[in-house]
Structure 1
Amino acid sequence: MDKSTFEDRKPIINGPMHDSLRHDSAHKHVTGTADYIDDMPEPAGLLHGALGLSDRAHAEILSIDLSAVAAYPGVVWVFTGKDVPGINDVSSNGSHDEPLLAETLVQFHGQPIFAVIAETRDAARRAALLAKIDYRDLPHWSDIDGALANGSPLVITPMTLRRGEPDTEMTNAALRLKGQMRIGGQEHFYLEGHIAVAIPGEDDEVTVWSSTQHPSEIQHIVGHVLDIPSNAVTVNVRRMGGGFGGKETQGNQFAALAAIAAKKLGRAIKFRPDRDEDMSATGKRHDFLVDYELGFDAEGRIHAVDATYAARCGFSSDLSGPVSDRALFHADSSYFYPHVHLTSKPLKTHTVSNTAFRGFGGPQGMLGAERFIEEIAYAVGKDPLDVRKLNFYGQPGSERTLTPYHQEVEDNIIARIVEELEETAEYRARRNAIIAFNRDSRYIRKGIALTPVKFGISFTMTAFNQAGALVHIYQDGSIHLNHGGTEMGQGLYTKVAQVLADSFQVDIDRVKITATTTAKVPNTSATAASSGSDLNGMAAFDAARQIKERLVAFAAEKWDVGATDVVFLPNRVRVGEIEIPFPDFIKQAYFARVQLSAAGFYKTPKIHWDRKAGRGTPFYYFAYGASCTEVSIDTLTGEYLIDRTDILHDVGRSLNPAIDMGQVEGAFVQGLGWLTTEELWWDDKGRLRTHAPSTYKIPLASDRPKTFNVRLAEWSENTEATIGRSKAVGEPPLMLAISVLEALSMAVASVANYKVCPRLDAPATPERVLMAVERMKRV
């Protein structure tokens, strides 16, 4: 099917698509009746699992004595890596560098060494503390500086992007500067932590309920550790209490452990780690250290960029390769670099293996780019917004449309987005007022910043850009929908149901949304890369198209009319001059032996990527946005308030404006936490000390902007043939929070009369803001 014909095939009558319908589970969320895995009725004979974790950052295991663990009351089985029936590995990329249970070597504090299965969760957890393990300690490093100082190996081959003549042209630039920026990581901190329940079946079969964004990967991993084919493993996911990328690969170990125990003992097994264990044993957003050199002219126009992006990856590769790749893909933010050389440096550290997190490296790359702009603005004495606008990508046909990875930016609307927000947020007048306020204020200083977002949409692994859907229509006209996407609170199920209801022109209540399961739609990609609606919406549309074509052919033959005389109207079908209620029409089609089921499929067109060459078109399109934030800081304490934020964000022609608004607001606040309050800290023994809400500070309701104005760019429509001409909304708005860090930076810079760039690292905790203020006082 030619997907470019989507708009031509869409019915004339408007259906539920593009309406602000409520999330299908919203009423259940707020009343506490939404069933998560831990809410499911427990099967008879259910046993509980707990992890036995390493208390060393890097050491050889000399001996393990689990006798006291096994003897604890209620313990049924204790197992180690030697008891894994198949391959003792849960790596997501085939690298075989992530053991399910460490056998001879531990590589981070909190690494699972054994598992305990007991009658109660409390007994399993208490027993796990009784192990006696002898170690021989080895050198360890837990941060990027330590990795660099110790010549740490790379967890994967780095990527390089190069265009133009950066070496020569850097030398020829009128002005040059060098700098460094530290960008902190982030804990996912889901409302629902990791959890898995495995139920043994007959022969080699096992069913797993997992809180995962990637059911097919869980299926494959469980098959590998049990040494059984994928067709023996069924993975189900109805909903997650948050995912944010952390449940793309990190659920593997819990599902695998539960499945092994279930098949061994013939009983249902549940693994639900405590919050401390969850945070210690599962990966986070990557820290980055960006070293850069910039060449530019006296106006602030960028001439050349040379930058290296070192990342704390943890002990295994996990998804660090594509994460550090995507950081480079977004190292341009919204700006054209005439000559550019970018290199990733994914470093091994003796910490938990870092993983996907909303934005997938893009936020770190984009934040670095905004620092470039800020540096240049202070160097030439201009408003950073003017420098941003001067360096924006140009329109198609200009010489300023080629990215560092050689993709043309063909859908550029960033200038319009920024100009519209600049006007509605009254940026110029407020900036002038803030400068005047700072001139007369002794202790409180203000700052304001307006920053852009340009975010590429698609998996950079081309093969992942595919999706399937299964649609049934029953005799009574009710519709059953299943697809490969997972619901983690983002409203994907609702959006795809809207697509299906719109296709058949029926009320959305007629569409039954069912749990994602590998038994219905196989070989699915992770619900990630902001592509859930794009991929699964089109797959569902394709399934509906097939059924509708059969229905139209049936009606045309039965009533002797042309195909164009069969029209789907709201809850009815017009055939020639008669109108038939949808259920009656379907009943007649059934008795005429029309197939009322279809498997839909979609693959994203146009994309291709050559990593080795650093060239291609990895993204189908770009999503855009801009935010303007005003802050106030106390120069005596470093504390600050976010006074106001204005956002204009591009979601194309929104499938569901209410849900999209929620995604923009939530992403901004999550990004705000990453850049201000959320700080990860390991001690000198390699122990994560920020492992609970008592020590790790996510944003509170009081941290949100006091004035928070959010709008969608209602005039925008995707130039590519996406579902309903919509655009992805999951990841792009997180980077809107960069305006907060930039505004804090301006407030700090006012202490030195805006003479120098404060180089404020992230997260900008009150301590960091205060230290930056003190540095400014010495300028």
Structure 2
Amino acid sequence: MKADVFPRVPHAVPAAHHAHPHESAHLHVSGAATYVDDIRELAGTAHAALGLSAKAHARIVSIDLDAVRAVPGVIGVLTAADIPGSNDCGPIIHDDPILADGVVHYIGQPVFAVIADSHDTARRAVRKARIEYDPLPAVLDPLEAKRQERFVVPPMRLVRGEPAARLAAAPRRLKGSWKVGGQEQFYLEGQISYAAPKEDGCIHLWCSTQHPTEMQLVVSHALALASNQVVVEMRRMGGAFGGKESQSALFASVAAVAAWKFGRPVKLRPDRDDDMMITGKRHDFHYDYEVGFDDEGRILAVCIEMTARAGFSADLSGPVGTRAICHFDNAYFLSDADIRALCARTNTQSNTAFRGFGGPQGAVAIEYIMDSIARAVGRDPLDVRKLNFYGGEGRNTTPYGQTVADNVIHELVGELEAESGYRARRAAIAAFNAASPVLKKGLALTPVKFGISFNVAHYNQAGALVHIYTDGSVLVNHGGAEMGQGLNTKVCQVVANELGISLGRVRATAADTSKVANTSATAASTGADLNGKAAEDAARRIRLRLAELAASSHGEGIDPATVRFADDHVFVGDHAIPFGELVQQAYVARVQLWSDGFYATPGLNWDRSKLTGRPFYYYAYGAAVSEVLVDTLTGEWRLLRADLLHDAGNSINPAIDAGQVEGGFIQGMGWLTMEELWWNKEGRLMTHAPSTYKIPATHDCPPEFRVRLFRNRNREDTILGSKAVGEPPLLLSFSALLAIRDAIAAVGDGRIDPPLRAPATPEAILDAVDAVRAQFSAAPAAARSDVAAEALA
């Protein structure tokens, strides 16, 4: 074999800090990418379907499964009694049964599973069950749960300064309530697990999950096995967004227990309706707030109580509430604040992680409040926002005690304000609205400050393995989960950059608990930060060994530190050795050509009891301008233009990061403007399919969509100076919601605060339009004529 099967490409694009295609793009577009359901089925594979509760809260009096077992092709059934170990899949608090045992807590809760010779047979058979219930009181409204003091975790409260006294002394005050809805993950690939029994009682599980290690632990507990008897493998997911961090555990457990009991491979793939009925969503939040401010709009004190719909079990609601508290400030200095979070227990699906993990729900509240303050003082909302930004002496500490040391929000917003033509467009929109009685335009510029790291410090660690083969090709394995976000692409770029080779030499393999153990979830936007650093560490160890070999092979006295790796060559003084040739020399010399790598984020601390510390390694920043057109007769609206400027640090892959910014913005816009979850009076989720739940489509994208990355190398020692870009861009969508609110305000005098709930569906928009119109009509005629004259001027 030739020493180097990868010939050097002259002037090749460097591996890092350049746009490279997603490593699986060619497989995605050709349909050749292997997802869990595409794995060639093993001989004897059976299929599972779940029998779901028809009651929101009830005791199970009896279960008759005889008719289920009698269906031709049915192999057997599973109930809670068939689980040999722990009947629990709760990620933190053990209050979440795999299969209901004695009591059901929401409509859609799995009660039993049918195992059959085909997917269709299992689905048909599951409907034959007869379950008798004794109904119990059901609480469906989180505010009712709050009144009854039904919480999944104790209430959380963070107090800074003297907010009550400062509120009482403030020259101006606003008080109100607001609500923002939840959101379905709506991943393209639904929940799925495929389990196969192996020798000596072991289980091999292929699972669409963001957290292979947690699936390993849950399955091992359910089967009363040691962790080393369970292998979880995950090559790629067709989307996850947080919905596959903890909630893939139920599906993994059922598939694994069925495979163990019946001694054959079992696949569990619920259809979309069942998936949406079973799984949790983004938490909807209710807010009660009071804010004090001066005549210019500077916030003096704020008190807010955020009540989240947790659902029937704790799941990840506690950390979601914590993150909402830590992001309520967004980009603003709050000297005196009382911030509370309540996680209300309701008889609905147990809500879970979703892109932003409570951060968006916390930050959108202060943006709504800031918008209202601006109308109260009669100033442009952007000017009020800038007045309250972090920055200046004594204004750089968050309510939870972390110093905002890397603040670039002033420069970033100033840059976007200028290049988007914000001031001129504001004037043009005012003139348009004065002459247009039905169609109204709105404009809003909103900022983002988003903390990066897990709130739980020990989750901020990662491992990786790097192998170099004798032909010069490289294989990397890490603990992160590829869900379409380009994590594997970035990790490959990092390894190629460290070894000075072209990206085409490097390939990433499936996340596998038998290769890299004890991994953290791919969540909290930490995937590239953690796994990139671990892979870089592994590659560096090999590079140092190769450098020592190269130096020793070219005479005495050569310092290995002077050996350079670049352009698929290794340079020792004036000598250039092809990378593959040096690798072969290393193999013959018995130099280790593989290595492990590890990384732990430094400098983090968090006191959960006091809600203080340094929970974030750094902040990512951004800002967006949205311009909308609203039809005040129908409630329909269009996003005409969006200008996005986002801080990705020294981007590893600008193309992938720009795509994440675009996708995050549109997903957030869907959450705030059109995606509506609705339960009927019995507690049945009625928006449980694509036919009843609306997500943004291509025509919802603005005709002018201007996305740019802000140049700002991370001041912290992150991977290649980059910043996380998974979750923060979702918060850019606040500008779309507040632009709609701005347009509705134009129905009146521009200073009437529209009571616009989110999602801002056409119905919600019409309700807000009617409220503004009624208040404006009730105002004295002289005041209305003065406002009209001012608008025309």
Please say whether Structure 1 and Structure 2 have the same fold, judged by a TM-score greater than 0.5: yes
- AA paired with 1:17? A
Is the Cα contact below 8 Å between 1:471 and 1:598 reproduced in 2? yes
Residue 775 (structure 1) aligned to one of 761, 764, 771: 771
Match of 1:485 in 2: 480
In 2: Cα distance, 1:576 partner to 1:642 partner: 58
Residue in 2 that maps onto 1:153: 150
Which residue of structure 2 lines up, in the alignment, with residue 592 of structure 1?
589
Q: Once the 2 structures are TM-superposed, how far is the Cα of residue 241 of structure 1 from its aligned partner?
A: 0.3
* Equivalence for 1:57: 56
In 2: Cα distance, 1:251 partner to 1:184 partner = 23
1:428 matched to 2:426? The reply is no
What secondary structure does 1:710 align onto? strand
Could you tell me whether the CA contact under 8 Å between 2:627 and 2:640 is conserved in 1? yes
TM-score (norm 1): 0.97
- Report the Cα offset of residue 584 of structure 1: 0.9
Is 1:754 the counterpart of 2:750? The answer is yes
The aligned counterpart of 1:6 is: none
User: Does residue 22 of structure 1 match 2:21?
Assistant: yes
- Pairwise CA distance, 1:475: 1.5
**Whole-angstrom CA distance in 1 between matches of 2:194 and 2:626:** 44
| Amino acid in the other structure paired with 1:531 | T
Shift of 1:152: 4.2
- The alignment-based identity, stated in percent, is 56
1:569, distance to aligned residue in structure 2 (A): 2.1
Match of 1:601 in 2: 598
Q: Is the CA contact (8 Å cut-off) linking 2:83 and 2:257 kept in structure 1?
A: yes
Give 1:521's aligned residue: 516
Q: Tell me the residue number matched to 1:137.
A: 135
Match of 1:35 in 2: 34
Matched, 1:167 2:164: yes
Aligned to 1:540: 535
Write the distance in 1 (CA, Å) between the matches of 2:631 and 2:401.
45
Give the counterpart letter for 1:508 in structure 2: L
User: Please, which of 645, 652, 667 is the counterpart of residue 655 of structure 1?
Assistant: 652
CA shift, 1:143, in A, is: 2.4
Shift of 1:402: 0.9
Matched to 2:302, the amino acid is: V
1:677 aligned residue? 674
Letter in 1 for 2:735: S
Equivalence for 1:178: 175
What are the residue-to-residue correspondences of 1:248-259 with 2, within 5 Å? 248-259=245-256
* 1:406-436 deviation line (CA, Å, top 9, x unaligned): 1110000011111111111111111111111
Match runs of 1:633-648 below 5 Å = 633-648=630-645
Q: Which residue of 2 aligns with 1:323?
A: 320
In the aligned structure 2, how far is the partner of 1:252 from the partner of 1:230?
A: 15
CA deviation after TM superposition for structure 1 residue 14, in Å: 8.5
Are the counterparts in 1 of residues 145 and 151 from structure 2 also a CA contact under 8 Å? no
Q: Is the 8 A contact 1:242 1:489 kept in 2?
A: yes
* Conservation of the 8 A alpha-carbon contact between 1:158 and 1:321: no
Per the alignment, residue 544 of structure 2 pairs with: 549
Structure 2: how far apart are the matches of 1:674 and 1:114? 33
Q: Does the CA-based 8 Å contact 1:14-1:502 persist in structure 2?
A: no
Q: What SS does the aligned partner of 1:63 have?
A: strand
* Partner SS state of residue 147, structure 1: helix
The worse-fitting range, judged by mean Cα deviation, of 545-554 and 660-669 is 545-554
Alignment partner, residue 447 of structure 2: 452
1:402 is aligned to: 397
Paired residue secondary structure (1:456): strand
Counterpart for residue 462 of structure 1: 457
1:719 aligns with: 715
* Partner of residue 9, structure 2: none
In the alignment, structure 1 residue 238 sits paired with structure 2 residue 235: yes
* Rounded Cα–Cα distance in structure 2 between residues aligned with 1:386 and 1:752: 21
Tell me the SS of whatever aligns to 2:250. helix
Which secondary structure does the structure 2 equivalent of 1:177 belong to? strand
Which ranges of structure 2 fall in alignment gaps of 5 or more residues?
Answer: 1-11, 776-793
Instruction: Please point out which of 171, 196, 199 is paired with 1:202.
Output: 199
Local SS of the residue matching 2:282? coil
C-alpha distance in structure 2 between counterparts of 1:337 and 1:152, whole Å: 29
Measure the CA separation in 1 of the matches of 2:676 and 2:251: 26
Offset of residue 108 of structure 1: 0.4
1:685 Cα deviation (Å)? Answer: 0.4
Whole-angstrom distance in 2 between the partners of 1:207 and 1:107: 31
For residues 378 and 335 of structure 1, the distance between their equivalents in structure 2, rounded to whole angstroms, comes to: 18
CA distance, structure 2, for counterparts of residue 141 and residue 152 of structure 1: 11
Stretches of structure 1 lacking an aligned partner (at least 5 in a row): 1-12
Q: How does 1:325-364 map to 2 (within 5 A)?
A: 325-364=322-361
- The answer to whether the aligner puts 1:187 opposite 2:184 as a matched pair is yes
Letter in 2 for 1:113: V
Distance in 2 between the 1:226 and 1:685 partners? 35
Cα deviation for residue 565 of structure 1 reads 3.4
Please state if 1:308 is matched with 2:328: no
Paired with 1:57 and 1:765, the residues of 2 have a C-alpha distance of 27
Paired amino acid for 2:518: N
Whichever residue aligns with residue 678 of structure 1, its letter is: E
Q: Which residue of 1 aligns with 2:434?
A: 439
Distance in 1 of aligned mates of 2:755 and 2:494: 46
Residue-by-residue CA offset, 1:625-676 (whole Å, 9 max, x unaligned): 0000011111111111111111111100000000001000011110010011
User: Which residue of structure 2 aligns with residue 732 of structure 1?
Assistant: 728
1:61 aligned counterpart, secondary structure: strand
Cα separation, 2, equivalents of 1:426 and 1:558:
61
Partner of 1:9: none
**Amino acid paired to 1:376:** I
- Find the residue that maps to 2:747 and give its secondary structure: helix
Secondary structure of the residue aligned to 1:411 is coil
| Partner in structure 2 of residue 376 of structure 1 | 373
Aligned alpha-carbon RMSD (Å): 1.0
Any idea what SS the aligned residue of 1:203 has? helix
CA offsets 1:165-212 (integer angstroms, 9 cap, x no match): 111111111111111110100000010000010011011211000000
CA distance in 1, matches of 2:30, 2:757: 40
Question: TM-score when scaled to structure 2?
Answer: 0.95
Distance in 1 between residues matched to 2:741 and 2:328, nearest whole Å: 20
User: Which range moves more in the overlay, 33-42 or 293-302?
Assistant: 33-42
Aligned-pair CA distance for 1:686? 0.3
